[in-house]
Amino acid sequence: MSSTLADSVPPLLEAFGRLHPVMVHLPLGLVFAAFAVEAWRVVQRRREMSPFTPTALGLAALTGVMAGATGIAFAESHGSGDDLFWHRWLGIGATVACAGAAWAAWRASRPAGIDAVPAVRGLIVGLTVLVAWSGHLGANMVWGPGFVWEPLIERDDGSERAGADATGTALVAGDAPGEAPVAVAQGAPAADPVRTEKLAFFRSNVLPIFETRCYECHGNGKRKGGLRMDDRTSLVSKDDEGLWIVKPGDAKDSVLINRVLLPAEDDLSMPPEGERLAAAQVEDLRKWIEDGAVMPEAADAAAEQAPALGASPAAAAAKPVPLAARPAAPARRPLAQDLPPLAPGEAEAAAGLRAKGINVTPMAAGASTFTVSMPGGPEVGDVDFVAIYPMAARIEELSLARSSVTDAGVMSMPSLPNARSVRLDNTGLTDVGITAVLSRTLDAEVVNLVNTPATDRAFTALGQLPYLRKVYLYGTKVSPDGVAAFRQARPGVEVNVGGTP
C-alpha cells in the first residue's frame, strides 16, 4: 500500500500539478497531428516533408516540458507504482525525442535534406507509439487497467465478464496467492460451505470497511499508488518494496494491517484522513486475512455471491438463490450530458477549499464532476459547508462523514442533481437532516448512514431514491422490522446492517 503525501504538499504546488491533465493533451495532439499529416503525404506519394511537421513537433517539445513539470508536481500527492514510474520516464523520454524529431524534421524539410525524409517519418512513427504508450499508462492510473477494452468484453446482457465465465458461473478467489478460483454455478449448491461462510464474513464485516474508508482512493475505478482494493489481484500482491499488501493466512506480514495500526500523525498511516479504524474493525481485517483473504475477484460481485445477511452458511448452501432469480438493481441514470469538462480555474478554485477542511477533487482526468469529502472532520461545520454550494451541479460523490454539519445547516443545501454517492456516516444528522440531504440527492445510488441517529423514519427518504443500490445502516437506531419492511418494498437494494438480521 503506497503512502500518500497529499497533506505535506504545498497547496500552490498541488494546484500547479493539477494542470497536468490539461497540459498533457497539447503535446499528445501535436504529435498525432504531425503523424497524420506525414501519413497522408505518404499516401499521396509526396517525397518532401510538410512545413507543418517541424513546427508541430517543436511546439510538442515545448509543451511537453510544461506537461512534465506539472506531472512531477502532480505525482507528489498521488503516490507511486509501476505505472507512474514508466509514465513519468516515458513522458520525459518522449519530450526529449520530440525535440530531436523537430530538429530532424526541420533539416529534412530543407531542399538538401529530402533524402532524409523517410528516416524522419520512421522516427515520427516511433515517437507516436512512445507518446501513445505513455498516455495509456496515465489512463491506467486514473481509470484502472483494461478501461479501454471493458466495453468489448461485457456480456450481451450488460454484465461484465470479470468474475464469471462464459456460462455465468461466479468465480470466488482462492485462499492463497495464485490459487485458482472456485466455480459456484448459478442455481447450484456452493462447493464448499466453509468458503461460503468466509465470503459471507467478507461481505458483512470487511467490505463495509473498504467501501467507507478505502474506496475513496483505492476503489470504484480509482487506484492511488497503483492499488485497487476492489480487485483481489491488486490487493493480494506485493508493493514496490516487495512486501505483501495482503498476504493470505499471515496478517502480521500484511502491509494493510501494519498501516492501519500506525498513529494518525505517521505519513504512512491508513486511512490517511479521519478517525483511526476501531479495534473491532482491525480485528475483522486481521481475521479475514488469517482465514485466507477470501473475496470475489471483483468486490462488486460480493452482493451476488454471498448469502443474505443473517443467513447461516448451511442454509445458503442448501437453498442457493440463482443469480438470474434475484431482483435486478435499478438502471443507472447517466450523468447530465450538458456538463462541459472542468476548466483549470474551476479545479484550482476547488483545491483552495482545503484550507476550510474540505477536499474537492475532479473525479478523474478530463472529468466534469467533483468528489467532495471532509478531511477536516469535526472542525468542518455548517459555515464551511456553504462553500461547496456554487459547485452543486458538479458534485458526483458527497461525503460529510465525521463532520459537525447539523440538521439546520443542511436545510439550505441546494439540489445535487448528479450526486451518486452520499456519505453521512459518523455525523449527528437525525432523520430530519438525513431527509433534507436525500431530498436534494434523488439520484443517489449508494447511501451511508453508519453510526448516525437514523431511525426507521429514514426509510421514507430512502424509499424516494429511484436509483438506490446500496445503503449502510449499522450503528443506527433502525429496527429489524423496519429493515425487513424496506427489503420487502425495495428488493433490488442491498441493505447492510453489519451482519445482524
What does the domain layout of the chain look like in residue ranges?
A: 6-148, 191-308, 344-496
* pLDDT for res 35: 94
Which CATH architecture best describes the domain 344-496?
Alpha-Beta Horseshoe (3.80)
Return the percentage of the chain with pLDDT > 90, whole number: 25
User: What does the pLDDT look like over 368-384, one tens digit per residue?
Assistant: 888 888 877 788 888 88
Record the cell numbers describing residue 356, joined without a space. 476550510
Record the cell numbers describing residue 194, joined without a space. 466453509
User: What does the pLDDT look like over 177-218, one tens digit per residue?
Assistant: 444 444 444 444 445 677 788 888 888 888 888 888 888 778
Contacts of 301 (CB under 8 A, 6+ apart): 163, 164, 170
Helix (H, G, I), strand (E, B) or coil at 90: helix
User: What does the pLDDT look like over 157-188, one tens digit per residue?
Assistant: 343 333 333 333 344 444 444 444 444 444 44
Compute the mean pLDDT over every residue in the chain, rounded to the nearest whole number: 76
> What gap in Å lies between CA 121 and CA 49, rounded to an integer?
9
Cα 125 to Cα 44, 68, 289, distances in angstroms: 17, 21, 48
Residue 82 pLDDT > 90: no
Residue 76 pLDDT > 90: no
User: What does the pLDDT look like over 61-75, one tens digit per residue?
Assistant: 998 898 888 877 766
User: What does the pLDDT look like over 303-312, one tens digit per residue?
Assistant: 444 343 344 3
Q: Which of 174, 91, 81, 79 is nearest to 130 (CA)?
A: 91
Contacts of 65 (CB under 8 A, 6+ apart): 95
Lateral strand order in the sheet of 446-448: 359-362, 370-373, 395-399, 421-423, 446-448, 470-472, 494-496
Provide the whole-model pTM.
0.42
> How many degrees, rounded to 5, is the angle at CA 477 between CA 476 and CA 482?
110
